[in-house]
Amino acid sequence: MENSSREELTRILTKFAESGWDLIAGPSKAWLDGNGDEKELLAAIEQADKDCGSCGCEFDPLYKRAIALLKTA
């Protein structure tokens, strides 16, 4: 993953980690700490996008962007 893409993903995952939503907060924190599994993280974000990806909140576009970044990593 390019450095700029990694930085963008880090910013997005930091927001997810601070969200308080267990579905994405835990896997995001683990990845940020260097202990996460990318497949589990991707699955969690895909589930979040499915569950809440069109509610109109600030995270909606972030789910899609994080998924794209992880799939091209």
Every domain of the chain and the residues it spans: 3-71
| DSSP alpha helix (H) spans, the chain | 3-17, 22-32, 38-52, 60-71
The pLDDT confidence band at residue 73, using thresholds 50, 70 and 90, is confident
Cβ-count burial 18-45 (b if 16+ within 10 Å, e if not): ebebebbbbbbbbbbeeebeeeebbebb
pTM: 0.93
3-52: pLDDT as tens digits: 999 999 999 999 999 999 999 999 999 999 999 999 999 999 999 999 99
